[in-house]
Structure 1
Amino acid sequence: MEHLAHPPSAPGTRRRARDLGIVIGRAATGPLNAITDVPGVRVGHTTVRRLPGVHSGVTAVVPDAVGPRTPLPAGVFTGNGYGKLIGTTQLAELGTLETPVLLTSTLSAFRVADALVGWMLERPGCEQAQSLNPVVGECNDGLLSDIRARPVHEEHVRAALDAASDGPVAEGCVGAGTGTVALGFKAGIGTASRTPDLGGRRFTAGVLAQTNFGGTLRVLGRTVTPESVGLGADGPAPEGETGSCMIVVATDAPLDARQLTRVARRAVFALARSGAAYSHGSGDYAVAFGTRPGTGGPVADAELGPLFEAVLDGVEEAVLNSLLAARTTTGFNGHTARALPADRLLSVLTDGRSGLDEPGSRGVPRL
């Protein structure tokens, strides 16, 4: 069993959307174009592989100092509820987040939640805790990984939490995205950020997505299929219970739980831009939390428009990054998921791209 715990680290040879000149939206990104651009947010991954049949892992989004005595305002939204988002009811009822948000494989979610509770009880301020609400989301990686083996264990969870860093976020086939497939291509973890102006104040919104959903990929309004990029018409796509997308949104804007729930809705809405089918068997969820609830006055609802747009653009870019960073993987029972080829994607986008770079267009390709 290969067990690789890595903090967000230097990216590999695969390029992100902006490296290719694909720019989604007009708002500026943070320095890393990642969820870790939000102050006080760290990310860690543990990748678990046993070739050929196990391709899984866990990803941790860790807000600084979060705990039962220092909860953060949060909201949650379910686009389609065919999934296991542990901790949903208390999160929705109280509007507070008490733990990091962890992502993993479907049948490993319960072990991950138990391991998260154990890790949290050892944190300062939790010495007397008798109640704790772990938040753990999942995607079904059973196409490429032996999901029934439940390969993610406590040591993997602790490694991801302990390795969490505020640096660049590793994307693609890492952590919880090691065995995922989306929109007919190998997928994984993707991230992005934006810095919207809300009523004259500049804030940061960052997103991280674990992508594993069905549909037909759309990039800057153009349909992209395995066949159109030269991979044939038989690319794998999640079906039934194997679909899902988990999105985590973080922001330093001083929002309350109700406003963060509105933000979470936009994160799920954004999947439609990428071509999501929201099928019967897809679990499409977003958790949004704030990191600095006491900073400055509250943001008025009427000022939230730029933040909503930032999240829509950020999720769309994170989904594309998850595909571009992923690598072709052959896994369980010989199933193969092929990576989206960047050069052929650019060919599709530049073939008759008239109007894509006109003022007012949502995407601004700089090809």
Structure 2
Amino acid sequence: MHTPGTPTRARALGLGVGGLPTGPYNALTDVPGVRVGHTTLVDPPRVHSGVTAIVPDGVGPESPLPAGVFVGNGYGKLLGSTQVAELGTLETPVLLTSTLSAFRAADALVGWLLERPETAGARSLNPVVGECNDGLLSDIRSRPVREEHVRAALTGASAGPVAEGCVGGGTGLTALGFKAGIGTSSRRLALADGPVTLGVLVQANFGGTLRVAGRTVTPADVGLPDPRPVPDDGSCMIVAATDAPLDARQLTRLARRAVYALARSGAAYAHGSGDYALAFATRPADPRALPDTALDPLFVAVLDAVEEAVLDSLLTATTTTGPHGDTRHALPATELLALLGG
């Protein structure tokens, strides 16, 4: 039973997506060798910001992982993405933060990596940093994310449960008319050569009209003030990981489906939206990659996981008021279930 006013994940409310089982945490960290850390910066009402670090074990310029990237709408900044697209490899952890803090975060990531023994001979690094604009609910021009915050997220990354909602790079974000933030989900599935796990993490900040279980949901539908009309733009950064033996081209196909999944949640893909997905495999490049005919279950898994992660980002968020008096309300679970007839 849900306690009114308590942030609750979608699956706990009976709103899990699809028929595939999840991993033990229903999170990106269910993929072996993937850790997640957050640094959250809150000084209300002026600052609601932060940084999220996704850290694959052992990743580095001498031990890159196969990766692919897909851009649904390119009004945004995914630093390092052109090299990922060109070479099909990821050689650093991935950071997610606020738009104007992305460049400082990239510099901090490079500094952190250069101090590590395994990069002693490195003369080039390709830091990968994504961003969403938290300027509605945070003083974005102050660029509050600093080097020590990035380092804390990287060194604090763990393989356990992943905090969601108003944490890290999701602290000041809004999506689909509601307060949003970080969401995550995973799926376990059996392929011909054995069981594999796929996990996703979303940084949700995009426009459109929320859809849950096939029904549109506006703030007014669940008893909240409706902030519209508001610009139907924003962004979403999606990171997907799997321990399936995929090559870069196949991971690009997986990333493409991750962006497609936002449509299930009601994304508008507007002119001013940056809709990106990065997918990587935790195994080094493997010439025995799966045949393309075996990818369909992974496509289903990423579609379902992204849709559920977006819903989690809304249900686990908390109502927030920004420095200019703008308020975005969290999606209330009790009223949502009543609307859906649950």
Per the normalisation by structure 1, the TM-score is 0.90
Pairing of 1:185-334 with structure 2 (within 5 A): 185-199=178-192, 201-234=194-227, 237=230, 239-240=232-233, 243-293=234-284, 297-334=288-325
Q: Who is 1:141 aligned against?
A: 134
Q: Who is 2:86 aligned against?
A: 93
Q: Select between 178-187 and 293-302 the one with higher mean Cα deviation.
A: 293-302
**How many pairs were matched up?**
338
CA contact (8 A) 1:40 1:64 kept: yes
Q: Distance in 2 between matches of 1:128 and 1:333?
A: 48
Superposed displacement of residue 319, structure 1 = 0.1
Question: 1:203-261, CA deviations, whole angstroms, 9 ceiling, x for partnerless residues?
Answer: 00000000000000001111111011011333585544xx0000000000010000000
Per the normalisation by structure 2, the TM-score is 0.96
Following TM superposition, the consecutive aligned residue runs of length 4 or more in structure 1 with deviations greater than 4 angstroms are 235-240
Q: Select between 129-138 and 330-339 the one with higher mean Cα deviation.
A: 330-339
Q: Who is 1:151 aligned against?
A: 144
Q: Distance in 2 between matches of 1:72 and 1:295?
A: 10
Q: Who is 1:70 aligned against?
A: 63
Superposed displacement of residue 112, structure 1 = 0.3
Amino acid at match of 2:198: A
Q: Distance in 1 between matches of 2:258 and 2:252?
A: 10
CA contact (8 A) 1:183 1:237 kept: no
Structure 2's unaligned 5+ residue stretches are none
Question: 1:126-156, CA deviations, whole angstroms, 9 ceiling, x for partnerless residues?
Answer: 0111100000000000000000011100000
Amino acid at match of 2:174: V
Q: Distance in 2 between matches of 1:133 and 1:294?
A: 18
Q: Distance in 2 between matches of 1:57 and 1:232?
A: 27
Q: Distance in 2 between matches of 1:296 and 1:201?
A: 17
Superposed displacement of residue 295, structure 1 = 7.3
Q: Who is 2:20 aligned against?
A: 27
* TM-aligned CA distance change 1:236 to 1:342, over 3 Å: farther
Residue 118 (structure 1) aligned with residue 111 (structure 2): yes
CA contact (8 A) 1:213 1:237 kept: no
Superposed displacement of residue 296, structure 1 = 9.5
SS at match of 2:113: helix
CA contact (8 A) 2:67 2:248 kept: yes
Structure 1's unaligned 5+ residue stretches are 1-11, 351-366
Amino acid at match of 2:214: G
CA contact (8 A) 1:44 1:164 kept: yes
Q: Distance in 1 between matches of 2:242 and 2:138?
A: 33
CA contact (8 A) 2:77 2:131 kept: yes
Identical columns (%): 72
Q: Distance in 2 between matches of 1:181 and 1:238?
A: 12
Q: Distance in 2 between matches of 1:155 and 1:103?
A: 15
Q: Who is 2:329 aligned against?
A: 338
Q: Who is 1:55 aligned against?
A: 48
Q: What's the RMSD between the two structures over aligned residues?
A: 1.4
